[in-house]
Amino acid sequence: MKIKKGDEVKVMAGKDKGKTGKVTQALHGVDKVIVEGVFVVKRHTRNKLTGTKGDIIEKTMPIHVSNVMLIDPKDKVPTRIGYSIDDKGVKTRIAKKSGSVIK
């Protein structure tokens, strides 16, 4: 999976199409990412003890990694991600659109 925690991404498909946000968690086993402010759902909780109240909690749900694109740090437009290996054998991520290195 080419998207990592801390990347700035744009949602390309789904109900939140066009929104941007930062990846807070990358779920590698299921190829999903959690992006802050994207795909927020409301969860209704029951009261657990006699004296506590039920509540409505807003929770950010995972979105499939194929529905997001990394935002190029140089041009601020969505781009694909590639890899380059330098002479020392260090593998780095690069933006396909501008060729800049992604941290």
Q: Residue 40's domain is classified under what CATH number?
A: 2.30.30.30
DSSP the chain: ----TT-EEEE-SSTTTT-EEEEEEEETTTTEEEETTSSEEEEEE---SBTBPPEEEEEEPPEEGGGEEEEPTTT-SEE-EEEEE-TT--EEEEETTT-PEE-
Please give the average per-residue pLDDT across 63-82, as a whole number.
95
What's the pTM? 0.84
7 and 52 in a single domain? The answer is yes
pLDDT digits (tens, 9 = 90+) for 44-69: 988 877 777 889 999 999 999 999 99
Question: Domain span at residue 27?
Answer: 1-71
Q: Per the structure, how many domains does the chain have? A: 2
pLDDT digits (tens, 9 = 90+) for 9-19: 999 999 999 99
Please give the average per-residue pLDDT across 73-95, as a whole number.
95
